[in-house]
Structure 1
Amino acid sequence: MDANSLVSAPTSLDEVEQLVKRLYQPGTPKLINQIDEQIKLLQHSPEGWQLADGLLASQDPSVRFIAALTFQVKLNNEGSKLAAATAQAILARIVSWTVRLDRVGEGHLVQKKLCAALGTYFLQSSVQWPRPLLHIAASLAHGDFVSEDQLSASHDAINQYLPALGDSQIILLLWLSGQLATDGAKVDSTNPACERIYEQMQILVQDVSILIENALHRPASQISSDVKKECLVCFLNWVNYAQPMWPTKPEALEHLRRLVPGLSMLLLDPRLEHEAMDIFRDVLETYTTFFQPQHMTTLAEIIFNNVRPRMLQSLHEQEPEVISVAQFVIAYGIANIQQIVEQPENEIMSKAPLALIMAILEAPGYPGDDDEASLHSIEFWNTYIEYVNDITYSSADIETPLHWVSSARSTCMSLTHLLWQKMRTPDAETANEWTEAESEGFKEFRMDASDLMLSIYVFLGVEMLQSLVTIMLSALEHGQWQELEAALFAVNTLADNVLADQTAENTLTPVFSSSLYRIVGDFSQTMPTQARRTAVDTLGSYGAYIERHAEFLPDTLRFLFASLENPGLYLSAAKSIAELCSTCRASLTSELDGFLAQYNNFAQGETSEPYTNEKVIGAIAAIVQAVQPESAKARPLSALLDIIEGTLGNARDQSNPELLELWGASAIECLAAVGKNMQSEEDGPIDLSNDNTAPVDKKSFWQTTDGQAIQQRILSICQSALQLIPQNGEVVEGVCKVLKSGFVETEPGPFVFPPGYIIAFLEQCNPSTPNVESVLAMTCTLVQQYSRNNHPRIDDEVAKIYQKVVSMVQLLGEPSRDPGVAQSCIDVFNRMIGRYTNILMDTAGTGDMVAPILDFSLKAVDGADLMPKRAACGFWARLIKPEDKPADEVVRTRLAQVVAAYGPMLAQALMSQISGRGQRSELEQLCEPLKALLSTQPQSKQWIESALANKAALPAISEHVADSERQRFVAQLSAARGDTRRTRETVKHFYAACRNTITSYSTSA
């Protein structure tokens, strides 16, 4: 016994039994772990069979459970290799124990584990077990193991034994049946080696059908409900097996379908109705086509005659048990959606289920709190409106209107009203009593209902909007604030669709011309903050409408700026101000001085904080952008810079380090917001690969002394922030946002900086600089932008970038030291391929700088970190197979030398990953450089063969893969010639073989 071991190896059956018992007694984690390991050793030992058999005689059920488990472990590991006689002897022992233990009233845990062992024998044994259920039924009836040669071969032979069995024995057979279905689903039916099991299951389902039918019609007893419950579970297991396995086997499915009438009667059994509903719901949701039309009719009649009255009562009384009933009805509705939509006049099949699902939303309570059913009903309504929209739009060219459309419109109008009612927020007292989960549940319903309303609007259009506006105006008139808020929330949801619908324009006018913003802006009036907040959001949502109706701008902005000073509204108000000013910038240029004054007033208040400052300053900057001519932007922009410099000064005066960092970062974020909002509207995001748009070459105000002075102020603010808080990642990221602001511009501007400024910032950094990844990402964008043909070459600047990033790579040494920085460095080198390959290959120098890059990226390919690996794979793929062949002969020569020198090492790294060291999710990226090698390098086959032969460099997990399989892999790779689909499939199969998730590469490829 090891000195550190608390457990000695047992030397007898009694000692094994005592060891198992210790496993279930209190003990330290170390002791329990050692006992578990010792038991596993015994289970895998050659004596495991005898131990399992002997331990089943124990008086302790825990020991008997381990014994049954041991049989299962042994069968999983050795079942397929057993000699026929040994396999049959083992089956005889398991069956014999199963029957004997049943006779003495064995508990469920052990019996179910014995069923699991029998199921494993069925799948793994080297000897076919033709009809397991018949065999076990016969053995149970005779009281001990019955030899298979004594069994009848007739298809209904099991019938002669079932009447003699007790309920507990029938339950045992149902457990085994369900186990066989569950285990059978794990078999790969496309693998020829598993074809025997696949065919057996089609025969076995006949016995299953007879078994369940017999069980359903047994005389009543104390446990007859348990029998029927197990019938339901067994049925579901077989339906779940049948769905993927028997899509073209109607004769096999028929044995299960014939059970539906009998099982559906359990929906009427008060003791089993909820279990039955769950089972039928599961099948309706996951395998809708299993049920035939007559089955759907049967279910509809049960819903109409039996489920409906109880469900309506339960909804009214808010009983928790209504959930399973509602889910069953919802699942039926979804499965029968075509009939419900297209035959709305059918009382039983359409009207009744639709009315029941509608009743869920009519019931009292708040979703997420005392009304969980409404959350589930959304799925049905999404399916309903999706079907309506699909059919309506696909039939748009049909002259005769679809007969059911008017009914669907009426349903959707009613649904809109019900959703609005359910979206109403509770009073403050109720909301304060909610748990976090209940509050989140209500929010989730509002969001789901919002998405549903968008789909409804596609069908109903302006009629729906008009309905909501009418509700809103009525609620406003009567001071019904919860109703007003819910209507506004719904209207906000529809904003994008409404603004794209010209016919909706006039419908909005009553909202903005009403007293809404005068009333909600009167803070002396008692009103829930949520109602005011949603009114604020409306202004942000409908900025494009307000832009076309400038008469509403003064009142709305006055309200928004007043709301900035309200503790409950300032965040929403800042967001809406930003959206509204961005949209309506051209209409607001005359108000700039007023806005600046209002901001200065706001900045003195308690609601002035980083988020609101950033939003409002950005909003004012959007208006500055619309000012013409360019020189007129200088004064208001300077005023914004004064504010930001003041914020930075405020940070500098803070004695609290946290406040210093907070306000310092806020200053730079405000400057970034100015840069973003100063971007020309017509430019938008630029396609860096598009060479069609050339920058305009003309003298601009921003190139004059006054314009340059403003640009220098911007840079000075950045430098001051970096000096004030040198180790703050937010500041570094903020400076990057500022410097990148001008990348999208095609004309000079205050935020359009020469490349030298960006490079100067990069040169201040090192691998430990906080958020240096942002700096490197900005550098990537700069290189990519100046790789476009319509931009001048900046070789000197790119050379500086090259030298700096090479030094970073050398400082890092290993990609794993900082995977994020490693990825960013490799991305920079990747962007240089193309226009600046000459610099990447150091053609003007000795070439000594190239090796550190290549060595580093090679380590990344064969490393454990995902992001550097992906970046390195992309880098090598482009380096080996560039999109455009370099025109310079020196560059072409240097590239060829690099590929020749590093090709074998790259092949070794790729094979190491593909042989099991990498993750399955990384294979597609690893295929990219592999494809490049195969399609451009004649020596690639030899390199790959050598790499696979060098087993010392490959992961140990791949050792079992035979040389013949490796050769087949190389041959198939070569035949693929870099074809994406074939290469990926070949690599995935080989990887699976190396990781032991398939039996061999040859059988799967």
Structure 2
Amino acid sequence: MAEDPAEVERLILSLYQPNPPEVIAQTQATLSRLQGTPEAWGLARILLEKPDQQVKFFGALTIVIKLNNESSSLSPEDASELLLLLINHYLDTLRSRSSPLVARKLASALATFFINFHQLWSRFIRHLIFCLVSGQSCLPNALDEVPDTVSLMERMEPSQAQAALWVLTNVFDEVAKINLNSVQNIGIYGSILENSSDAVALMSRSMSPQTTTEEAHEDAIRCLQSWVWFAQKSSSKDTRLSEPIGPLITAVITSLTVDELYSVSVELMVDLLSNCLMFLSDTHFANLAQLFDSPWSQGRYEKLVQGDFEFDSLQYGLLLLAFGEAKIERFMQSDDSRSQKLLSNLCGLLAARGYVIEEDRIFVPALEFWLTYAETLTDLTYSDEESTGTWVPRARSHLLQAVSNAWQKITYPPAEEFHSWDSNERISFHEARKDVVDLLQSVFTLVGPQLVSTFADLVLKALSDSSWPQLEAAAFCLGGLADCISETNRGDDALSVVFKSSLFAILRSGQSEIPPKVQQTCVSLIARYTEYFERNVSELHPVLNFIFGVVGEHAMANAAAKSIHRLCGSCRGYLHTEANSFLNEYQSLVSGRRLDCGASEKVVGGIASVIQAMPDSNPKYSACGRLLEFVQTDVQRSLDLLRSYDGSPMPCCAVYTCSYAAPDESPALHTALKSLRCLASIGKGLQAPAELSVDLESSRASTLVVDPHLAQLQGSIMSMISQIQEAFNTSGEVVELICSVLRSGFSESEPGPFVLPPQSVAQYLTNQNLQTPRVGLLVKTACSFVSSLEHDGLDNQQDMLNSVLLWVIGLLKQLPSRFRDLAFRT
């Protein structure tokens, strides 16, 4: 087939016809193999002579591939002949104006030729311009007898300048991709520099209104952008690449106001301001500052903030932001009206019309600018406190206005609107809200607790006005400041006003018009500010009464359960006398089937934390027994469901779907997993706080006497996990949760329900085999178990250790040899 151009032509044309995917793939593979053969050089020449444009394009593409892969196979004479061939076809294609795609591909081929034969075609711009002007090809050595480049350019038509620009742009693009330090590419950088004056002259002429067209002007700006990319990659400190294009950049700034040239100009200027400041002089910045103070800029700005987020409008916003960030220190320290107006406009970008993300696409970039602004202002403020007195208040005022604009923009849209967004938009919206919190935390460094007071006041105002979206956003921001004041009471006065207000009474009243998200965010404030309640113990009981009262409400269940868990964990020392009251509250919730699995897990973990703080063992173990009875009930329910499932819905909650429900998960397994999650959560809650010191000698002595009540609790725990594993012996998740239950006692130094007897743990582990799902987790648990025995000393544990070791060895022996070797290595 390689000798049959007609067959190749038929295959090429078949790619543009409707065919099955497998036929197209086979044809592409055949043509690709053909391009790798030695005969492809000659075939490409034949294809370039064909009248069909798709065939010509394939011929030019083949030459590009051959040059990239096999240029070393060409002698200098062959290379010169190929250059003449490419230029002839380029001229013919340009004259015929029949196919821009073929012309562009031939321009790419010429650029590839230069990269591989830059010594042969050293003055490629001048030579190409001469061929374009004369309308015929010639060898590069014929340039000695032709006029200089500038004289040649004066005879060029704009369309001919475009043709030269296409080749030059391709050269810059391709050179930017290669390693200029490799042996095979030595000399290319020097050749580019040798042609730089011609390149600048060509772009300059193509940007001059008197000698160009809009199309050529656009191509010249694109070529300049390719120059910038190449210069940035190759040598950012070489002024021979940056200085010559200064006047060209000035021309690009001027062209921003030309509608037909705006898109390509703004793209280049955003790139220069964001990534390539070395190309910009003070004069360029002065020109841009003047431009941003013009009626043209004001018109663009008004369109953007009024909700025009089309591409060109958005690009204007990105240009303004890039300009502001490039000179951010200067603008924040300057008191001239132009700088102040620019900062006000940058602040106004945070208040553009439209919902964030779904409509308003300038908000996130603007927020990133103000994050940088806050960080820069902080650095300057604390690095030279004496010299900042005059300008810092003014700079801070802009930042506070940015905060004011930002928090109001992150209010949730109506529920039906929000749910109509796709998942990526919703995720991005939530990420934008987190970014606003990052801004608030940065601003707190400069402003201090006053920021907490501001948002506390905003919460109360929105509550007074029944402005539910604003209430949610203000509460979200107030919660975001919790980490800033967690270890100090400087914000307590402001928080006290919020927590003692009518906020929680209104939430508990069940007003139907309060959106669920508002309820969730407001309740979450409690979990965020647990340290506040540690410092203000008198407010613990009212807030706990509130969250236990609303934890059964679907909208607030997760937030309230999380608050119970965190508040009980943090304030256990003050709450242990309320353990039985909390158990009664939980009994009521369980009886009413008002909690799903996730809420139950958090609530029992919180109650367990309170029980842990009880000083006397008898009431502590009694409370533990009550708490474990709830789990035992769920275990028994799961076993009953397994024996006689009647198709009823998930038994963990009465009305709503459980957040933990997995597709195709049986109610029996679902209930079993719930019981194990609750068991693991209780085990973690009963762990001693890390900050408590423990007398290890006393603890070891106390383990010698086993409390019968404690032994009963431990036996109950071992019985529950054994029952569940036996009933659901194919579930890896069951094994994973059982391991969590076992490990919860390993780090403890004092007796407790989950500090299980070592013999019981060892016996449970050694009863497992290779058929047990996720047996590797059990082996890891065994490692942790052996390490935990150091608390009790290892003197009397030798038999038990031997049994565990023999169990692990037995498992390894049962593995196929290839897995056994891997297991021993790891």
TM over 0.5: yes
Residue 463 (structure 2) aligned to one of 471, 476, 495: 476
2:227 aligned with 1:238 = yes
- 1-structure distance, mates of 2:9, 2:796: 81
Q: Secondary structure at the match of 1:746?
A: coil
Q: Counterpart in 1 of 2:568? A: 581
Aligned to 1:327: 318
Letter in 1 for 2:263: H
- Which residue of 589, 601, 605 corresponds with 2:588? 601
Tell me the equivalent position of 1:302.
291
Which of 366, 376, 379 is the equivalent residue of 2:355?
366
Aligned to 2:549, which of 551, 562, 584? Answer: 562
Give a deviation string over 1:633-653, Cα, whole Å, max 9, x none. 101111111000001111122
C-alpha displacement of 1:542: 0.5
Q: Structure 1: which amino acid aligns with 2:740?
A: K
**1-side partners of 2:497 and 2:622: how far apart?**
39
Partner of 2:485: 498
Structure 2 Cα separation of the partners of residues 100 and 341 of structure 1:
58
Which residue in the other structure is 2:200 paired with? 209
1:243 Cα deviation (Å)? 1.2
Find the aligned partners of 2:157 and 2:784 in 1 and give their Cα distance. 76
Q: How far apart in 2 are the matches of 1:195 and 1:702?
A: 83
Q: Does the 8 Å CA contact 2:165/2:220 hold for their aligned counterparts?
A: yes
Instruction: Judge conservation of contact 1:693–1:790 (CA < 8 Å) in 2.
Output: no
Task: Give yes or no for the alignment of 1:517 onto 2:504.
Answer: yes
Letter in 1 for 2:76: A
The correspondence for 1:48, drawn from 37, 40, 49, is 40
8 A Cα contact 1:87 1:126, kept in partner? no
Instruction: Label 1:473 to 1:707 Cα distance change in 2 as closer, same or farther (>3 A).
Output: same
Indicate the SS of the match to 1:652.
helix
Q: Given the alignment of the two structures, is residue 410 of structure 1 paired with residue 400 of structure 2, yes or no?
A: no
Preserved contact between residue 449 and residue 491 of structure 2 (Cα < 8 Å):
yes
The reply to whether residue 805 of structure 1 matches residue 783 of structure 2 is: no
1:124 positional shift = 2.8
1: CA distance, partners of 2:725 / 2:377: 58
Partner of 1:644: 631
Tell me if structure 2 keeps the 8 A contact 1:75–1:125: no
Compare relative contact order (CA 8 Å, sep 6+) and give the higher one, 1 or 2. Answer: 2
Separation in 1, partners of 2:18, 2:512: 65
1:34 aligns with 2:34: no
Q: How far 1:401 moved relative to its partner?
A: 4.1
Matched residue, 1:289 = 278
Partner SS, residue 744 of structure 2: helix
Q: Specify whether residues 796 and 405 from structure 1 end up closer, same or farther in structure 2 by C-alpha distance, changes over 3 A only.
A: farther
1:392 and 2:381 matched:
yes
State the alpha-carbon separation in 1 of the partners of residues 118 and 289 from structure 2: 48
Partner of 2:727: 724
Partner of 2:687: 679
1:22 equivalent in structure 2: 14
**Partner amino acid for 1:19?**
L
Map Cα deviations across residues 662-709 of structure 1 (whole Å, 9 max, x no partner): 0001101100000111111026999xxxxx988942214983332222
Map residues 775-814 of structure 1 onto 2, 5 A cutoff. 775-783=778-786, 796-813=799-816
Which deviates further from its counterpart, 112-121 or 531-540?
112-121
Q: Is the 8 A contact 1:134 1:207 kept in 2?
A: yes
Question: Does the 8 A contact of 1:100 with 1:144 survive in 2?
Answer: no
For the 8 Å contact 1:702–1:748, the answer to whether it is kept is no
**Alignment partner of 1:186 is 2:152:** no
Q: Distance in 2 between matches of 1:685 and 1:144?
A: 92
Greater CA drift, 725-734 or 425-434: 425-434
User: 1:100, CA displacement in angstroms?
Assistant: 1.8
Cα–Cα, structure 1 residues 857 and 527, in superposed 2: closer, same or farther, change >3 Å? closer
SS of 2:178's equivalent in the other structure is coil
The question of 1:158 aligning with 2:149 is answered yes
- Partner deviation per Cα, 1:36-63 (whole Å, 9 max, x = no partner): 2221232121211111111011111111
State the shift of 1:564 in Å.
Answer: 1.6
* Matched AA of 2:367: I
Taking the aligned partners of 1:793 and 1:202, their CA distance within structure 2 comes to 82
- Report the CA distance shift for 1:52/1:573 in structure 2 as closer, same or farther (over 3 A): same
Name the structure 2 match of 1:449.
436
Shift in CA distance, 185/597, structure 1 to aligned 2, threshold 3 Å: same
User: Cα 1:595–1:507, aligned 2, differ >3 Å: closer, same or farther?
Assistant: same
One-letter identity of the residue aligned with 1:247:
S
The residue number in structure 1 matching 2:454 is: 467
Matches within 5 A, 1:241-280: 241-280=230-269
Amino acid of the structure 2 residue aligned with 1:508? L
Distance 1:339-1:186 versus aligned 2 partners, 3 A rule: same
Matched, 1:713 2:716: yes
Question: Aligned partners of 2:217, 2:197: CA distance in 1, in Å?
Answer: 18
Whole-Å separation in 2 of the counterparts to 1:637 and 1:662: 24
User: 2:120, 2:414 → 1: CA distance?
Assistant: 68
Question: Which of 836, 856, 875 in structure 1 is aligned with 2:822?
Answer: 856
Aligned-partner Cα distance in 2 for 1:329–1:113: 36
Could you tell me how far apart the structure 2 residues matched to 1:795 and 1:526 are? 66
Does structure 1 retain, via aligned residues, the 8 Å contact 2:301–2:316? no
Deviation at 1:337, TM superposition (A): 1.1
The alpha carbon displacement at 1:503 in A equals: 2.1
Shift of 1:487: 1.1
Partner of 1:59: 51
- Identify unmatched segments of 5+ residues in structure 2: 648-664
2: CA distance between counterparts of 1:795 and 1:120?
Answer: 75
Shift in CA distance, 547/307, structure 1 to aligned 2, threshold 3 Å = farther
Question: How far has the Cα of 1:126 moved from its partner?
Answer: 8.4
8 A contact 1:232–1:263 mirrored in 2: yes
Alpha carbon RMSD of aligned pairs, Å? 2.7
Q: Quick one: structure 1 residues 802 and 100, their matched pair in 2 at CA, closer, same or farther if it must change by over 3 Å?
A: farther
d(CA) in 2 for partners of 1:88 and 1:787? 82
- 1:316 is displaced (CA, Å) by 4.8
1:850 corresponds in structure 2 to none
Relative to 1, partners in 2 of residues 1:800 and 1:553: Cα closer, same or farther, differing over 3 Å?
same
Counterpart secondary structure, 1:503: coil
Query: Once the 2 structures are TM-superposed, how far is the Cα of residue 598 of structure 1 from its aligned partner?
Result: 1.0
Distance 2:283 2:368 in 1: 25
Whether the 8 Å CA contact 1:81–1:126 is kept in 2: the answer is no
CA distance in 2, matches of 1:200, 1:702: 89
Q: Residue 670 of structure 2 aligns with which residue?
A: 662
Output aligned runs, 1:214-225, within 5 Å: 214-219=205-210, 224-225=213-214
Change (3 A) 1:730 1:685: farther
Q: Where do residues 949-968 of structure 1 align in structure 2 (5 Å cutoff)?
A: none
Equivalent-residue separation in structure 1 for 2:686 and 2:464 (angstroms) = 42
- Deviation, 1:141, is 1.3
1:346 aligns with 2:315: no
* Identity within the alignment, %: 27
CA displacement at 1:346 relative to structure 2: 2.7
TM score, norm. by length of structure 2? 0.92
Q: 1:206: Cα distance to partner?
A: 2.5
1:753 counterpart = 2:748: no
Number of residue pairs matched?
Answer: 803
Distance 1:762 1:142 in 2: 90
1:616 correspondence with 2:582: no
Report the equivalent of 1:739: 742
Partner of 2:138: 146
Q: Which runs of 5+ in 1 are unaligned?
A: 1-8, 687-691, 816-821, 823-852, 859-871, 876-1005
Asked if 2 retains the 8 angstrom alpha-carbon contact of 1:361 and 1:374, the reply is yes
* Deviation for aligned residue 1:550: 1.8
2:373 paired with 1:381: no
